[in-house]
Structure 1
């Protein structure tokens, strides 16, 4: 065992690492980039659960103990949430592993700088591994318990048909025929964020008026497969829906990814109603690359610091100016400020970042970067 002083030094180091401003964002970005099954989940959802696990781990290490009943209750809640979202348990465990790897990598860097004995850090890491194993066991048991309670849903005909469609190959062709969909192609796939709100219920009822339509929940999304796009006006203005197609039955898994990307882009820009992936192709590419977003934010970290209290007004003005097709008067009208205020804030952004938002590439980078700043990235 390390000396009391060494142990205290390592614990202080771990607590410091856990409170680093950008560490959680980096851990979440790494998890979403490396584990595709959770990439579609809201970043705030992943960040909230990751923050809870990190806080619990820090307390346990400081007290030289395993997880308490209260901490395991939080773990059970996480398992139940991911089970209801149909995220595979393997993906949940891998996401936690990836986030932990980011944390310990940073801890090793600081330990080397402060000349903390490697043996002391290793002892703390071994205790963390024991803690993580208890958490892993609770995650698995609770996850399977929730899945078992959902057995009736797993037998739902539409859910089974949707899984077969997404499996591809001859299985998908047969499932399409069984669902009354064209087995020869021309299929459209749409997605909306699953939830308990009334908007999703209204969307389900509206979509079921169009036949043929296969509709079920999958991986945290309401997924529909149809022989044609929904009729104009069928989807209300209170719900964001992504759609991709047309495509063959064997290619529905790819259409699902595109429809989810269209949905993410629509949510990113506040769009409602039906959004086809072709309408937001560039935005979808942006939303699907949190690793590139992280690189952009890191590149301009100094600019963010330089802006200080003006960060949000400047970022908001730049986004509004770009979304108004660089019309300062229109952007000012939307923001309730004078057009010259918009121009001055755009100029300030250019000065601190070196990005010219008037250019094509510069405009894209400016819009993306300001979105990251406004989103707390």
Structure 2
């Protein structure tokens, strides 16, 4: 049967009639796989040297006729493990060609049914006993079931490989945009990722490093056009627009920059990375604009200055003293709430007079008055910044 062009044609026709997607492929492509799969399937039931063995050649003679086909042995179960390589290759090829798996299986099942029908017709014509035909049919059904599994496996393996290859290529483009010179990318390379050479994009950096979490969050953050991947170990990307809501992962921290052309994304990425580190030190979660973290990220680049300022202004405080830590935390909250006693008291769940008392004790302990931070002047702004920076450094991460 495998070498009979008429059989191959009928099996191909059945597959193409059942699946429009398979029918869109060139007929020669369908024939190629049908011929190989028929040969592999029949070989599982033909013993070496018996009629039907391809190595033996066509059977001829007055008692056999021009093409009698393989002898059906009473022991119909194959002596050797069937070769399913052709089935796996069929699945892989159709995945690469973009044929949906459901359409592929419709074609495979239609072709299989027609091949079995032809085999039964020829067996009856040759006088094969019904009992033996049933045994062969049951065994071939087991074989074709395994064949379909290998088609599916080959398809999914190829899908994963294609996705990995495409994803790797997209990630490499993203890394070149963020770490190298965007001008080295050609228009074709950008087009393959869906990016527009003259488009405007947000740079997006997160603290997510786990690949599974990254995939889940990427589905919400990624837009068309957009490009995401793991860069420097973190889920990072560029997006044409931002999602209406925050990241789906409540524990994730995401920093975004304003829209900019591709050739300005690289410096924005550096700013976002720095801001992300500052936001992590503050214990922040959710989505934040890089400009909202400008002060913290700028100060975080000067740890030596922060340490020097902390020792200069707060040298009298003992980090191991819980009361001293309470005083420092109160002053920091006071600065964070606009030097307002009422707002600070509400935030700390105490009476405003308690805030006044703690500020007085703080001034006594460090030997410096905080009066300068309440004056509306440029000097007061800088004094406030110095105290805030020193207190934040001295207290450490929240």
Pick the TM interval, shorter chain.
Answer: 0.5 to 0.7
Partner residue, 2:360: 347
Partner residue, 1:365: 386
Aligned pair partner of 1:181 in 181, 186, 195 = 195
Partner residue, 1:14: none
- Structure 1 residues 199, 371: CA separation in 2 closer, same or farther (over 3 Å shift)? farther
CA contact (8 A) 2:255 2:289 kept: yes
CA contact (8 A) 2:327 2:362 kept: yes
Aligned pair partner of 1:164 in 131, 156, 176 = 176
Aligned pair partner of 1:203 in 197, 200, 217 = 217
Residues 187-266 of structure 1: pairs in structure 2 closer than 5 A? 187-196=201-210, 200=214, 202-208=216-222, 210-228=223-241, 230-236=242-248, 237-266=250-279
- Structure 1 residues 313, 199: CA separation in 2 closer, same or farther (over 3 Å shift)? farther
Q: Which has the larger radius of gyration?
A: 2
CA contact (8 A) 2:190 2:196 kept: yes
C-alpha distance in 2 between matches for 1:198 and 1:331 = 41
CA contact (8 A) 2:247 2:286 kept: yes
C-alpha distance in 2 between matches for 1:249 and 1:344 = 54
Bigger share in helix: 1
Partner residue, 1:296: 309
C-alpha distance in 1 between matches for 2:287 and 2:186 = 26
CA contact (8 A) 1:265 1:287 kept: yes
CA contact (8 A) 1:328 1:342 kept: yes
Structure 1, residues 166-215: CA drift from partner, whole Å, max 9, x if none? 2114224644443212211412101011333986554223113x222211
C-alpha distance in 2 between matches for 1:345 and 1:281 = 30
Give the TM-score normalised by structure 2.
0.50
For structure 2, list consecutive stretches of 5 or more residues without a partner in the other structure.
Answer: 1-163, 375-379
C-alpha distance in 2 between matches for 1:180 and 1:328 = 53
Structure 1, residues 256-299: CA drift from partner, whole Å, max 9, x if none? 11112232333344443321222221122112221221221232
C-alpha distance in 1 between matches for 2:278 and 2:325 = 21
Give the count of matched residue pairs. Answer: 224
- Secondary structure of 1:305's match? coil
Partner residue, 2:5: none
C-alpha distance in 1 between matches for 2:382 and 2:221 = 39
C-alpha distance in 2 between matches for 1:179 and 1:154 = 9
C-alpha distance in 2 between matches for 1:278 and 1:307 = 35
After superposition, the CA RMSD in angstroms is 3.0
- Structure 1 residues 235, 194: CA separation in 2 closer, same or farther (over 3 Å shift)? closer
Partner residue, 1:273: 286
Structure 1, residues 198-242: CA drift from partner, whole Å, max 9, x if none? 86554223113x2222111111321111123x1221424542211
Residues 69-108 of structure 1: pairs in structure 2 closer than 5 A? none
CA contact (8 A) 1:189 1:245 kept: yes
